């Protein structure tokens, strides 16, 4: 078990919090979506309620070790001030004498936001001296940036050598839900894996196959599995070099007694366009010059029926080209089936998260992961540097 924020004394202490404030900005540097800031508020508020002196740190964009004005965290300081209802002090940098002075001068209940960590190339290089400088700003370390936990960077992993780290509420929730699903799942357990390519999700499928009772495959990657079973898939996206692997995974599922579900009908279109001619056909009747862009109505019903009796559902990746309205039905119906089930449901990975948010069912999902690459690697069973760096209870 890893330590979390409630296991450490923070009263009157300077607390370094690694956040994920890597928010999208428009061309005028206005924040277009503040979800990542909102998600860290419970951790920050807890520290303020417990009289801590709060030092927040994050990266933004890819400034490649240079101080680039458009990647400044100033817009984040402004938004945080509004959300917290108190002034957030913006530091001119994240290390150095001036920043040290600001940190040491903090009073309980004050908040200091450090400038972009990636303005220093030492951050991504996990430089020990840089880690030490960051650590020297505080007396307690909290990590709440799950989206960065798969990176062995100075503020994520290196700092733990000099300042013991505990998990903030957001990170603690990710470990509890995703870590729990991977290490100690409840049964019956279903995994739904979608998205465009098998190659992106091989590790996830391989890691989860021995643990699940049901595996549902959709999205573009399902085409490769359908091709492996000898179906004609027309002009659909397919990874020809992964067909043998797909056959192997289907065999492995059989051997392990896992129900391996592929679409039984699909929505096909004449072109990759929302307003192209499209229709639903059984999987053995895909026209040679058409392409598969979604799972069909019968597949949706089959998947929903299977999910109804599950105790745990992990979902990563959409069922079709959900960005186009005509091919979003499979993903929407799946979101509804997951939301309607009594299972503990975990949705991870960028596209599945946007899909669930689009359907307006986000509040019916037990846990929506904040980390794209991090949740994927966690589901693959990999050890994440940022989780490993946390102090044990």
User: For residue 121, how many other CB atoms are within 10 A of its CB?
Assistant: 13
Q: 173: left (phi > 0), else alpha (psi -120 to 50), else beta? A: alpha
Query: Has 36 been annotated as catalytic?
Result: yes
Distance CA 29, CA 128 (A): 32
Query: Has 211 been annotated as catalytic?
Result: no
Residue 18: strand, helix, or coil: strand
Residue pointed to by tokens 């072109």: 271
* Annotated active-site residue in 350, 358, 364, 382: 350
Distance CA 16, CA 139 (A): 8
Query: Has 18 been annotated as catalytic?
Result: no
* Annotated active-site residue in 65, 109, 373, 381: 373
Distance CA 303, CA 300 (A): 5
* Annotated active-site residue in 74, 197, 259, 382: 197
Residue pointed to by tokens 């936990």: 149
* Annotated active-site residue in 36, 39, 242, 332: 36
- List the beta bridge partners of residue 191: 215, 314
Distance CA 383, CA 310 (A): 27
Q: State the first-to-last Cα distance of the chain, in angstroms, to the nearest integer.
A: 6
In angstroms, what CA-CA distances link 335 with 1, 148, 363, 376, 378? 32, 26, 11, 19, 22
Distance CA 382, CA 123 (A): 22
* CB contact burial 49-64 (16+ within 10 A = b; e otherwise): ebebbbbbbbbbeebe
Active site (catalytic) residues: 36, 197, 350, 373
């Amino acid at each position: 078990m890893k330590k979390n924020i409630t296991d450490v004394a923070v009263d009157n202490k300077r607390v370094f919090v690694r956040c994920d404030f890597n928010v999208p900005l428009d061309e005028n540097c206005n924040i277009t979506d503040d979800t990542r800031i909102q998600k860290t508020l419970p951790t920050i508020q807890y520290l303020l309620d417990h009289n801590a002196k709060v030092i927040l740190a994050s990266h933004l964009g890819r400034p490649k070790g240079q101080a680039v004005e458009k990647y400044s965290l100033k817009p984040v300081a402004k938004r945080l001030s509004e959300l917290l209802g108190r002034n957030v002090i913006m530091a001119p940098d994240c290390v150095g004498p001036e920043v040290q002075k600001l940190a040491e001068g903090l009073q309980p209940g004050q908040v200091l936001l450090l400038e972009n960590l990636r303005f220093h190339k030492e951050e991504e290089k996990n430089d020990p001296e840089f880690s030490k400088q960051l650590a020297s700003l505080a007396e307690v370390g909290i990590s709440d940036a799950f989206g960065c936990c798969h990176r062995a960077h100075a503020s994520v992993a290196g700092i733990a050598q000099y300042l013991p780290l505990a998990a903030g509420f957001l990170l603690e929730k990710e470990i509890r839900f995703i870590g729990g699903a991977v290490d100690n799942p409840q049964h019956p357990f279903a995994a739904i894996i979608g998205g465009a390519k098998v190659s992106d999700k091989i590790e996830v499928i391989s890691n989860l196959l021995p643990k699940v009772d049901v595996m549902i495959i959709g999205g573009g990657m399902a085409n490769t599995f359908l091709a492996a079973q000898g179906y004609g898939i027309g002009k659909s996206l397919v990874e020809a070099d992964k067909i043998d692997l797909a056959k192997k995974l289907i065999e492995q599922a059989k051997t392990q007694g896992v129900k391996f579900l592929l679409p039984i009908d699909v929505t096909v279109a004449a072109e990759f366009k929302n307003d192209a001619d499209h229709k639903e056909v059984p999987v053995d009747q895909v026209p040679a010059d058409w392409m598969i862009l979604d799972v069909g109505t019968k597949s949706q019903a089959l998947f929903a029926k299977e999910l109804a009796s599950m105790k745990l559902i992990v979902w990563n990746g959409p069922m079709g080209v959900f960005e186009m309205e005509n091919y979003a039905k499979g993903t929407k119906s799946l979101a509804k089936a997951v939301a309607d089930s009594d299972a503990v449901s975990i949705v991870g990975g960028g596209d599945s998260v946007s899909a669930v948010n689009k359907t307006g069912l986000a509040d019916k999902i037990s846990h929506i992961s904040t980390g794209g690459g991090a949740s994927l690697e966690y589901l693959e069973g990999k050890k994440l540097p940022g989780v490993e760096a946390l102090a044990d209870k």
